[in-house]
Structure 1
Amino acid sequence: MRTHTELEQLCNEAERNLRCFYPTTNAIRRATHVRLQNGYIVRPFRNVYARTAYWSTLNPAEQMRHIIRALSQQFPNRIFAGISAAAMMHLDYNWKLHADGTIFIAGKTGNSKQTYRKLRRIIVADPPTSVLLSSRERGGKIRMTMAENTSATQVTATSDIINAVTITSPARTLVDCGLRYSFAQSLSLFDSAMRQGLTTTELIIDICDDMQIDCGRIFRLLYYMSPLSENGGESLCRAVIIEAGFAVPQLQRVFADPDAPWKQYRVDFCWHTPDGRLIILEYDGTQKYVNPEMTNRRSIQDVVHQEKEREDVLRKAGATTIIRATFDEVLLQTPLIQKLIEAGVPLAGAVPSFAAPTNAGWQKAC
């Protein structure tokens, strides 16, 4: 197959700017169709394309961001909403929410029969909006910034801006996601938005006040959310704990080695029980053992040895029980719940002080 220079240039530019491409001439459209048939190019959305080899290197969230940036160029007046807006803000959530490839936009009316099946509207008349701008700095690095209460069409074009995407505001995005998805699926979105300082409880409540539907699910998420949760896996783990009726744990508590106080370890979750026990739960994502950035390029044996040393210090610091849970155990729920039962983690209803988040108000970890 001969190289089509214009198409290759279009692909190169799109990949450099972290988006998919769309044909701009009939000649490129024909060349794209031929390469789509032989597998060189993939079409993840209507009139949105990418080179297959490049596309396969992207995770589901980044694939969504590439599609949305291309669509925003084609339709600059569109306001992306729901999980699509969450993806653009790099919030934490389970990538399975992108399994059907749906893109969500804000609209005054619902979908019609003529609407593309992968495009879904969230009905809202005049949502508060933000614009996510991608600009290229010296050296080629891309920087992301957010402009509040504006739209992509209002942004002054400059040579360094490579992408401008209008989304619903962080508060509105969280409300839409919280109403659509389960508590366990949504808690990580709320945790990460608060951790990044993207919105406030007051702004979310203001959104709910203007809606004529029951927002009880949102208020439950507001009650339990915490910026102390460091990643989506920890948020999901905490959601499972809460949903199963266990006492809400303290988050990110720091323990010092009694024999060497300068050695300190921070644990993911812990409980102080009424009978004086200290139960610690450590969430072990697989990245902890295989991601070079997280292991400092140490071998798995070295990482495991350090974990053993860590546990010894925690026991000297007063831990009576240490539980370890993997992502798969959290996802399946039953293995995690069984470990919590065996460790004697108290139920929320058994001790009134456990009924509320122990980090309410996100005060410092105790």
Structure 2
Amino acid sequence: MRTHIELDALCDDAERNQRCFYPTSNALRQATYVRLRNGYLVRPYRNVYARSSYWGNLNPAERSRHIIRTLSRQFPNRVFAGLSAASMLHLEYGWNLHNTGSIFIVSSTGSPKRTYRKLQRISMTNPPVSTVLQYRHNKGLGSKLMQGSLTLESCGTQDPASTGMTQTAIPGVRQHDITDMVRITSPARTLVDCATRYPFVQTLPMFDSAMRNHLVTAQEVLDICDGMRMDCGSVMRLLHYANPLSENGGESFCRAVIIEEGFATPQLQHVFTDTDSSWMKYRVDFIWHTEDGRIIVLEYDGAAKYTDPAMTNGNNVHTVVQAERDREDALRRAGVTAIIRTNYQEAAQRAPLIRKLIDARVPTVGMNARYEHATDVTGREL
């Protein structure tokens, strides 16, 4: 295919700034359509395009952010909400929530009868708004969350050194360094919208990560609920169980499954000292202390734990596995009576994880509906 200099420049600029592109002239539109038919380009959303080779290397959350940044340039006054706002905040959640490809925005009137199928409107009036600024920094890109609905002009102040450049609220970043500005609902409002739309196991990672990254407080979430005319029971439950000590979305998801299946809520991130080598300390993901004196540890293993060089320190799988055995021996010397290992697949399937928890006699706080059923006075299962 012949090279189209202007279109390639548009693609290069979009990829450099982590967004997609849209054609702005008839000539560019024609060139875009030709390359779309030939598979050189993809169209993940209406009037939003990217190189196929580039798009294929992005995960679902990053794809969503690329689309949102592009739409914010096409429609600067739009406020993105729900899952779209969560993706811009880099909250943790299962990427399968993006399977429909939907983009969520604020609407004061709800969804009209005729609308683009991938555009979802969340009805709200005068929601609290934040702005995500993306800017060039040290030959790369940085981002910062700012309170309020900002414009390029409103976030700048005159350079006191009179260099002719305009400073921003971000130290060391000038106005011309800003590449994108995306308006979203505030972190608190975003969490409430997601909590009322998605299941507990999908939203607990959002709450954990928001609190871990100091994006929101429980009181801010409660303030949002106080101003809404809807049942916020799901939000209250999430606030009760949210824990900033959870290190990643996988651990949060696993903990949510444990809670939903009726087991006692584990404590997080306890450190044990090796009794044989006091300088060696081991931190565990989940732990239960039972009334009969047992100590049960659950370790959540990500696949990268055995394959990612950044996590294995360059060691091979055999060395990593041996280190895990040494770790388990040290934990048992420190008084741990049972060690459970699990991963995302087992947590998602539930049954394998539940079987391990039952075998280890992890305490329960209620009836496990999968294996236990109540009966009425006649003995019939309810």
- TM-score, length basis structure 1: 0.94
1:338 has 2:347 as partner: no
Partner of 1:28: 28
Shift of 1:143: 1.1
Partner of 2:149: 150
Distance (Å, rounded) in 1 between the aligned partners of 2:12 and 2:314: 32
1:181 has 2:180 as partner: no
Q: What one-letter code is carried by the residue in structure 1 that aligns with 2:78?
A: R
Partner of 1:161: 178
Partner of 2:8: 8
* Deviation per residue, 1:81-126 (Å, 9 max, x gap): 0010000111100000000100000110121132111000010011
Distance (Å, rounded) in 2 between the aligned partners of 1:75 and 1:87: 18
Alignment of 1:240-319 (within 5 A): 240-319=257-336
Partner of 2:113: 113
Shift of 1:304: 0.8
Distance (Å, rounded) in 2 between the aligned partners of 1:165 and 1:93: 20
Shift of 1:150: 2.2
Change (3 A) 1:152 1:288: farther
Distance (Å, rounded) in 1 between the aligned partners of 2:220 and 2:74: 31
Q: In structure 2, the residue corresponding to 1:260 is in which secondary structure?
A: coil
Partner of 2:84: 84
1:234 has 2:251 as partner: yes
Shift of 1:298: 1.6
Partner of 1:60: 60
Partner of 1:353: none
Q: What one-letter code is carried by the residue in structure 1 that aligns with 2:38?
A: N
Gaps of 5+ in 2: 157-165, 167-174, 368-382
* Deviation per residue, 1:140-164 (Å, 9 max, x gap): 1211111112234644482100111
* Deviation per residue, 1:239-263 (Å, 9 max, x gap): 0111111111110000010111110
Shift of 1:326: 1.3
8 Å Cα contact 1:152-1:166 kept in structure 2: no
Distance (Å, rounded) in 2 between the aligned partners of 1:75 and 1:297: 46
> What is the root-mean-square deviation in Å for CA atoms of aligned residues?
1.2
Q: In structure 2, the residue corresponding to 1:282 is in which secondary structure?
A: strand
Rg larger for = 2
Gaps of 5+ in 1: 351-366
Partner of 2:375: none
Distance (Å, rounded) in 1 between the aligned partners of 2:359 and 2:19: 49
Distance (Å, rounded) in 2 between the aligned partners of 1:210 and 1:295: 48
* Deviation per residue, 1:219-241 (Å, 9 max, x gap): 00000000000001100110011
Distance (Å, rounded) in 1 between the aligned partners of 2:183 and 2:150: 5
Distance (Å, rounded) in 1 between the aligned partners of 2:313 and 2:251: 21
Match of 1:222 among 217, 229, 239: 239
Alignment of 1:313-328 (within 5 A): 313-328=330-345
Distance (Å, rounded) in 1 between the aligned partners of 2:334 and 2:244: 26
Shift of 1:338: 0.8
Distance (Å, rounded) in 2 between the aligned partners of 1:155 and 1:26: 34
Distance (Å, rounded) in 2 between the aligned partners of 1:303 and 1:77: 51
Alignment of 1:347-362 (within 5 A): 347-349=364-366
More displaced, 110-119 or 316-325?
110-119
Shift of 1:297: 2.1
Q: Percent identity?
A: 58
- TM-score, length basis structure 2: 0.90
Shift of 1:349: 4.5
* Deviation per residue, 1:43-63 (Å, 9 max, x gap): 000000000000000000000
8 Å Cα contact 1:91-1:192 kept in structure 2: yes
Distance (Å, rounded) in 1 between the aligned partners of 2:31 and 2:261: 55
8 Å Cα contact 1:194-1:227 kept in structure 2: yes
Change (3 A) 1:226 1:38: same
Q: What one-letter code is carried by the residue in structure 2 that aligns with 1:148?
A: Q
Partner of 2:212: 195
8 Å Cα contact 1:77-1:152 kept in structure 2: no
8 Å Cα contact 1:265-1:310 kept in structure 2: yes
Distance (Å, rounded) in 2 between the aligned partners of 1:248 and 1:302: 33
Distance (Å, rounded) in 2 between the aligned partners of 1:296 and 1:56: 28
Whichever structure has more helix as a proportion of its residues is 1
Aligned pair count reads 349
Shift of 1:323: 0.3
Q: In structure 2, the residue corresponding to 1:305 is in which secondary structure?
A: helix
Shift of 1:294: 1.5
* Deviation per residue, 1:121-145 (Å, 9 max, x gap): 010011101111111113x121111
Distance (Å, rounded) in 2 between the aligned partners of 1:246 and 1:82: 30
Distance (Å, rounded) in 2 between the aligned partners of 1:3 and 1:13: 16
Q: In structure 2, the residue corresponding to 1:261 is in which secondary structure?
A: coil
Q: What one-letter code is carried by the residue in structure 1 that aligns with 2:140?
A: K
Q: In structure 2, the residue corresponding to 1:92 is in which secondary structure?
A: coil
